[in-house]
A and B are shown apart, each in its own frame.
Chain A
Amino acid sequence: MTNKIKVLYVDDEHLNVLLFEMNFSKKFDVLTGKNGLEGLNLLNKNPDIKVVISDMRMPKMNGLEFINKARENFSDKKYFILTGFDITPEIREALENRIILKYFMKPFNMREIEGAIYEVV
């Protein structure tokens, strides 16, 4: 595993996870989880993860809850949200507080996401 940027993607939709991995693994080292807990576990095991991208609506723990939890131990990671929802007051607030650096909307725009990752890392 060379010098590819390690990216964690969390989404409860199996197809989303699969396709993300397929499309981005060429350029990034992609790890995936299907909920917040899995995400936290992966973060614990892979301290070299630089970027975390999470879906917003997931069972038990939503994207922002997961990210807030993750930031308690891994404040140095760059966090993003990728969601089917339009911007909500919650997301706006997270953006303003720099909890997430950006939010992407589904259907994803590959170039947008790539650009953002390269920009922050």
Chain B
Amino acid sequence: MSNSDFETRNGAPPSSREINALIRISQSIISTLDYQEILQIISDGMADLLGIESAAIYILQNKTDLYLGATTPALDKNMPDFLRWVKLPEHPHIEKTIKSKKHHVIADTSKTQLSEAERAVTDIRNLKSLLYFPFVQKGDVLGVLILGTCNRTQRFSEHQINLGQTVANQLAVSIHNALLVDDLKKHTDHLEELVQEKTQDLDTAIEELMAANEDLFEKNEIINNQNEELKTTLQNLKNAQSQLIQSEKMASLGTLTAGVAHEINNPLNFLMGASLGLENYLEKEEHKNDEDLKLLVESIQTGVERISDIVKGLNQFSRYNPDFDEECDITSILENCIVMMNNRIKDKILVEKEYSPGLKVMGNVGKIHQVFMNILLNSVQAIDDKGKIIIRTFPHGEKFAIIEIEDTGLGIDKNIIHKITDPFFTTKAPGEGTGLGLSISYNIIKEHKGRLKFKSKPGKGTKTQIFLPIT
């Protein structure tokens, strides 16, 4: 075939037509990164460039497999992928091209030996003359371009072969790049798929975790609630126990003191009666000026009165009365407590009193006695050797009376100050304290709708404030 053949068919001089075809190929290739598209461009471009109507590109994969990348005219886009795969040994002419890395020509398919597979392909379009070009990139064959004439044979010119091989070698670079890009794309796709898969897995796991978490949370809440209930029950039980012990104790103490008081009061009554009788007797004329005798009688009466006061105090302290409607004179209750504790105070503790005269609250005299007694007792016990207790009473606005008892004792540690009103909490040695004093006091103050406050500095002392409502 001569150059003039080209001219006749395409209407332009071969060199300018070829340059145009080459420009189209290169422009098209630049415009895309898609591997399939690039193969299609090469197939169409090469057919156009060399003026041969049919073309096909096979890409070599795994050394023995061939993938039909593109054909001219183009394949049906819906053609299933698996139909594009063929085995290299079934196509000996392609195999030969690949092995030799050189172009290969079949001048007339009807006169050349073809394999069954090759025959099947050539029969489709009645291909007569075939021209094979290997795509060689850095010594490796990437694939093969096959150009073919339909229905007629053609003798391929040297120019066609040289041009074809040169361009094919150039295009091998593009194919190689496209393959790399495709690979990369496949990797990226695969990675994306993996990421998606993992994300989905993670999502599922998170969902499962969240469900489990929710379940746990619910269970936790139930446990917490039950725990809280248990705590409350335990606290109630402790309180009930302490109140039981307390009321039992107070009841027996009350019975005891009442009995003892009665037994003391009767002989006191004798003494009082007798001394009054004596006083009467001394008013007679002959004794009128006997001051010594008068002093003796007065001493008896003073003694009787003092004993009587102590007994009354005892009675008040242990008196059983469930009501809270008594008028409680704060000063006299405090004084009574001090009288009862006198043996523990004298010689050891200086008691300073700053009373607000006439300060009264409504409540239960006996119970308020117990509160003052317990708190004073704690102050006395907190003082090891010698010390001071300051008692102050004053109104707090119109609604409350404050009774403040401050000592220079050991003080209370920060770690335990919140526990000191717990029933059975004690820092005293076993047998020396029940741990009920402050808890009972606290409950009594609560019953009176009052408040109890502590301020303490270890080593310096404690200040206790009792707030009691005036009405």
Contacts and interface: CB of A to CB of B under 8 A. Distances in A.
Interface of A: 13, 15-16, 18-20, 22-23, 26, 57, 83-89, 105-108, 110
Interface string B258-285: 1001111110111111101100100000
Contacts of B261: 84-86
> Which 3 pairs, one residue from A and one from B, show the smallest C-beta to C-beta distance?
A19-B273, A84-B265, A107-B272
A64 to B, nearest CB: 15
Contact of B304 (A83, A89, A107, A110): A107
A86 B319 contact: yes
B460 to A, nearest CB: 40
Interface of B: 258, 261-266, 268-274, 276-277, 280, 304, 308, 312, 315-316, 319-321
Contacts of A16: 266, 269-270, 273
Contacts of B268: 84, 106-107
B220 to A, nearest CB: 53
Nearest to B276: A23
A85 B272 CA distance: 16
Contacts of B320: 89
Given A86-B315, A86-B316, A110-B276, 5 more contacts: A13-B266, A18-B273, A84-B269, A86-B319, A107-B272
Given A84-B263, A107-B304, A110-B276, A15 B312 contact: no
B265 A20 contact: no
A96 B316 CA distance: 20
Given A86-B319, A106-B268, A15 B273 contact: yes
Contacts of B271: 107
A83 B265 CA distance: 8
Contact of B258 (A86, A106, A107, A110): A86
B277 A19 contact: yes
Given A16-B270, A86-B312, A105 B277 contact: no
A22 B262 contact: no
14 contacts: A19-B269, A19-B273, A19-B277, A26-B280, A84-B269, A86-B261, A86-B315, A86-B316, A86-B319, A87-B319, A89-B320, A106-B265, A106-B272, A107-B265
A101 to B, nearest CB: 20
A83 B266 CA distance: 8
Contacts of A57: 262
A90 to B, nearest CB: 12
Contacts of A110: 276
A96 to B, nearest CB: 12
Contacts of A86: 258, 261, 312, 315-316, 319
